[in-house]
Structure 1
Amino acid sequence: MTALPQQPDHLQRSLSNRHLQLIAIGGAIGTGLFMGSGKTISLAGPSILLVYLIIGIMLFFVMRAMGELLLSNLEYKSFIDFSTDLLGPWAGFFCGWTYWFCWIVTAIADVIAIASYAQFWFPGLAPWIPALFCVLILLTLNLTAVKLFGEMEFWFALIKIVAIVALIVVGFGMIAWGFHSPSGHKASLANLWNDGGFFPKGLGGFFAGFQIAVFAFVGIELVGTTAAETADPERNLPKAINSIPARIILFYVLALVVIMTVTPWRLVEADKSPFVELFVLAGIPAAASLINFVVLTSAMSSSNSGIFSTSRMLYGLAQEGHAPSGFSRLSRAAVPSRGLLFSCGCLLVGATMVYVIPNLVTAFTLVTTLAAVLFMFVWSLILCAYIAYRRKRPQLHAASNYKMPGGVAMCVVCLIFFAFVIVLLTLQPDTLKALLASPVWFVLLGIGYFWKGRHGGKSAIGR
């Protein structure tokens, strides 16, 4: 009788630099850019460019702090490990479970979006069919090998990049040719300041833009969950993080510049994708179908990221003693299969619950705001862990080849910024509801933590 292949006891480093770069890009380009940019433009006008730049700069420093921490000890598999090690077991518990919940919430929204995008081509199709089909495909491929996750994310991200680059090229071509829209407006860079100035809605409009724009960046930290499965992390992780500023300028700032120069900002409709509108103006009849395909793959990419990252969070939580030990077992393909199955089960249950909520628009606003609040909590914990690392492990910082610019002072600036965004969420009734609901999650976590007891001593990482 032939011996069964031995079950692996650790995650495999199967993600190449090519995979990691595109995972980082895919994480930085959310569906919110394609579908939500119309609403942000209508709220803030051209000043939305500054909003995306400011948020992007702050999150770049969060990623640099995360990068230095992950590379300071290659035993760290994700930010659960360094949060537990540097801040205590409570931080790993709260960080891991909150991040898991963030992605379940985000993936539920994406699966519902996939169902609605599929109805563009198949209007008679029951919405649960594409939702279930999507989850089953992503689950099957994620169960096979981590390399397949990397390949899927590579191609999903590539489609998004091609769409945005095409928009930028077409838009600048229209500006160069002095294109006139049917309404008589000429495509010109002057549209950025001619119609009410750069801050046409004043500071109120400028601040309102932050509420929606923050959600567009969720997932930027995804490279931090791939650390244990990245080949040559000392070389590839810094490359992925260092390219974030260039990606933000290209994919967010240039794309929005093109949209607002071709179409004056007042004419951008909040409930329509400005990407579709620009391609329609350019005379591309298949624009709606093309962008629907891009947004569909963007939502698939986000769901794929959610399924991957939630399973890795459960794996890390189980290793720290914060989740059932069964989640720490790997399949023969070296993937945390039990975590994948559990997360996909929660995703499908959540997706069916959303269908019974009468007002989906209200539900989505609450869900996305809640996710943004919880993601900011995770980003803040990363910064707090960095501050603790600088105090407790000065020798590791001194030896680091990838030091965070600005150090502790920049961490404090970022934490103040996140507090400022939380204050802004109180200004609108719908975002205030989600903000007031978020403490319920932390109360539940607190109960869970004290019920489970303090088991942080199980991990030997960094000790």
Structure 2
Amino acid sequence: MPDRTTPEPPAGAQDDHLQRGLSNRHIQLIAIGGAIGTGLFLGSGRTISLAGPSVLLVYAVIGFMLFFVMRAMGEMLLSNLEYKSFRDMAADILGPWAGFVTGWTYWFCWIVTGIADVVAVSGYVAFWAPDLPRWLPALGLVVLLLALNLVAVRLFGELEFWFAIVKIVAIVALIVTGVVMIATAFQGADGATASLTHLYADGGFFPHGLTGFLAGFQIAIFAFVGIELVGTTAAETRDPETTLPRAINAIPVRVLLFYLGALVVIMAVTPWRSIDPAESPFVAMFALAGLPAAAGVINLVVLTSAASSANSGIFSTSRMLYGLAEDREAPAPFARLSSRHVPSRGLVFSCACLLPGVALLYAGRSVIEAFTLVTTVATLLFLVVWTVILLSYLAYRRRSPELHAASRFPMPGGRVMAVVVLAFFASMVVVLALEPETRVALLVLPVWFAVLGAAWAVLRRRGVVPGRAAPDVSGGPDRAHALDTARR
């Protein structure tokens, strides 16, 4: 329970999610910025090397499947305005154990993602300082994130808003530059002429066959992690029935523009076999165009993107620890606030958990090897979280059919598509097991859930129950009032 000697924070400071007061402007830009992550900037080169031009289909399939995850989440969030996150939904619909497991797993998701971002930042810094030890900028980022989160809480929304603007401008600039290079038949140093024929002329659309196509999913899935934050954030605005559908329905447009549009011009300008999997193809394309200064700017943009992602992760994990501690599902000290009304102990703990990323680089691993390892772990964990969302949806449909019938934002395809997406997730686990580089990450899951299972057993034995009252899902008068309020 919270320390009662701690000064009372301002209104809203003790909410599970600090984004409760964000405006629609913030939410929409954070949602769009969330679609432009480290996995796209740094990981797309490796994905292209594995799948060739079929990487376009890889990103399209993942975006298509996750759209239904978001629609399922959106329908449930709007069915009960008491829900603040999928942790609430899981605890309410599937049981308290599901909220505990999901909450801690989501915390671990962002810690692992933060490690991937730390690894990526060290690679971006090498663009300017190739002789600098890789672990030094990684360690510097962790210290910087801790300092910023301890003193700049109220600036988070605005900073993330402008980070998103920078990333959007960079992607649009890359696409425009690529289109001009294609239209003018730009010829690179290797003699290759920019042309859309590169998408099928060298080995066809599937140059490495089905095996290469499936192998491309590992890094590509990681590019979408955090997409579920759109629904969680939008559900806490003053007008969720307008903001949430707008943010979720924009997902296909984001995938087409930021992922497919960017990758099409990259592979049209540079034949896919010539793309170095160990570096960002975004930086390489501007350098190829004879714009080294622009390449440096883009490198700074993608570095900022990785740092921004890590910053969001640290913010989210510290607040997740705070909420879990309030529910007596995490150590009590994490529920104590500093004099600045921030959960400083959770911040310090989460930042300390990023240090394995520094250790990976200090141990001598290359950036892409370290990045592949940690992104695979993160991908598996996020697959678990997305699976919980869909399982909650199936239980919600079974238990509350009247709420589905009354919904103004029902999930297209309903239970059928939920099962289809669950089958897709299961197939992705199989794909990860087939690749030697990603198979080792599968060993993390049983260990992690064994730890959570043991922790839950201890809490049960001590008689600890969730401190937050579970929202009613029975469809009674309170629910009807909440639904009517949302519609208004």
State whether residues 83 and 382 of structure 1, in contact with CA within 8 Å, keep that contact through their aligned partners in structure 2. Answer: yes
CA deviation string 1:184-203 (max 9, x = no partner)? 32222222122222112111
Q: Over aligned residue pairs, what C-alpha RMSD do you find?
A: 2.4
What residue number does 1:410 align with?
A: 417
State whether residues 45 and 278 of structure 2, in contact with CA within 8 Å, keep that contact through their aligned partners in structure 1. Answer: yes
More displaced, 101-110 or 333-342? Answer: 333-342
Quickly say closer, same or farther: Cα 1:87–1:456, change in 2 above 3 A. Answer: farther
Query: Structure 1: how far apart are the matches of 2:327 and 2:231?
Result: 17
Residues paired across the two proteins, number: 459
What residue number does 1:188 align with?
A: 195
Structure 2 unpaired stretches of 5+: 1-5, 473-488
Quickly say closer, same or farther: Cα 1:418–1:259, change in 2 above 3 A. Answer: same
1:265 Cα deviation after fit:
1.7
Query: Structure 2: how far apart are the matches of 1:417 and 1:263?
Result: 31
Query: Structure 2: how far apart are the matches of 1:309 and 1:134?
Result: 17
Q: Which of residues 200, 207, 213 in structure 1 aligns to 2:214?
A: 207
Q: Which of residues 7, 16, 21 in structure 1 aligns to 2:9?
A: 7
CA deviation string 1:302-347 (max 9, x = no partner)? 1111112212322332344322344345567665444333322333
Q: Which of residues 354, 359, 377 in structure 2 aligns to 1:353?
A: 359
Q: Which of residues 51, 73, 76 in structure 1 aligns to 2:80?
A: 73
More displaced, 81-90 or 285-294? Answer: 285-294
Query: Structure 1: how far apart are the matches of 2:218 and 2:386?
Result: 16
Alignment of 1:93-112 (within 5 A): 93-112=100-119
Q: Which of residues 440, 453, 471 in structure 2 aligns to 1:462?
A: 471
Q: Which of residues 442, 445, 449 in structure 2 aligns to 1:435?
A: 442
Query: Structure 2: how far apart are the matches of 1:230 and 1:145?
Result: 22
Query: Structure 2: how far apart are the matches of 1:355 and 1:227?
Result: 37
State whether residues 27 and 221 of structure 1, in contact with CA within 8 Å, keep that contact through their aligned partners in structure 2. Answer: no
Letter of the structure 2 residue corresponding to residue 312 of structure 1: R
Check if 1:323 corresponds to 2:365.
no
Query: Structure 2: how far apart are the matches of 1:172 and 1:254?
Result: 10
TM-score with structure 2 length normalisation? 0.87
What residue number does 2:247 align with?
A: 240
Quickly say closer, same or farther: Cα 1:409–1:342, change in 2 above 3 A. Answer: same
More displaced, 309-318 or 400-409? Answer: 309-318
CA deviation string 1:330-383 (max 9, x = no partner)? 567665444333322333x43443344343554432221111111100100011
Query: Structure 1: how far apart are the matches of 2:275 and 2:361?
Result: 30
CA deviation string 1:211-265 (max 9, x = no partner)? 2211111111122443575343332222211111100000100111111111222
Query: Structure 2: how far apart are the matches of 1:87 and 1:456?
Result: 15
Q: Which of residues 391, 394, 400 in structure 1 aligns to 2:401?
A: 394
Query: Structure 2: how far apart are the matches of 1:127 and 1:262?
Result: 30
Letter of the structure 1 residue corresponding to residue 305 of structure 2: S
Q: Secondary structure at the match of 1:438?
A: helix
State whether residues 141 and 148 of structure 1, in contact with CA within 8 Å, keep that contact through their aligned partners in structure 2. Answer: no
CA deviation string 1:92-121 (max 9, x = no partner)? 111111111111111122223324433543
Query: Structure 1: how far apart are the matches of 2:33 and 2:459?
Result: 36
Letter of the structure 2 residue corresponding to residue 398 of structure 1: A
What residue number does 1:298 align with?
A: 305
What residue number does 1:175 align with?
A: 182
Letter of the structure 2 residue corresponding to residue 267 of structure 1: S
State whether residues 76 and 461 of structure 1, in contact with CA within 8 Å, keep that contact through their aligned partners in structure 2. Answer: no
Quickly say closer, same or farther: Cα 1:15–1:6, change in 2 above 3 A. Answer: same
Q: Which of residues 32, 44, 47 in structure 1 aligns to 2:51?
A: 44
Query: Structure 1: how far apart are the matches of 2:131 and 2:261?
Result: 38
1:123 Cα deviation after fit:
5.5
Q: Secondary structure at the match of 1:425?
A: helix
Q: Which of residues 303, 309, 326 in structure 1 aligns to 2:316?
A: 309
Query: Structure 2: how far apart are the matches of 1:167 and 1:445?
Result: 44
State whether residues 134 and 362 of structure 2, in contact with CA within 8 Å, keep that contact through their aligned partners in structure 1. Answer: no
TM-score with structure 1 length normalisation? 0.91
Q: Which of residues 217, 228, 242 in structure 1 aligns to 2:224?
A: 217
More displaced, 453-462 or 78-87? Answer: 453-462
Quickly say closer, same or farther: Cα 1:246–1:146, change in 2 above 3 A. Answer: farther
Query: Structure 2: how far apart are the matches of 1:140 and 1:238?
Result: 35
Query: Structure 1: how far apart are the matches of 2:134 and 2:194?
Result: 39
Query: Structure 1: how far apart are the matches of 2:135 and 2:202?
Result: 44
Query: Structure 1: how far apart are the matches of 2:439 and 2:133?
Result: 34
Letter of the structure 2 residue corresponding to residue 278 of structure 1: M
Structure 1 unpaired stretches of 5+: none
CA deviation string 1:366-402 (max 9, x = no partner)? 2211111111001000110111111122232223222
More displaced, 290-299 or 264-273? Answer: 264-273
1:124 Cα deviation after fit:
6.6
Letter of the structure 2 residue corresponding to residue 153 of structure 1: E
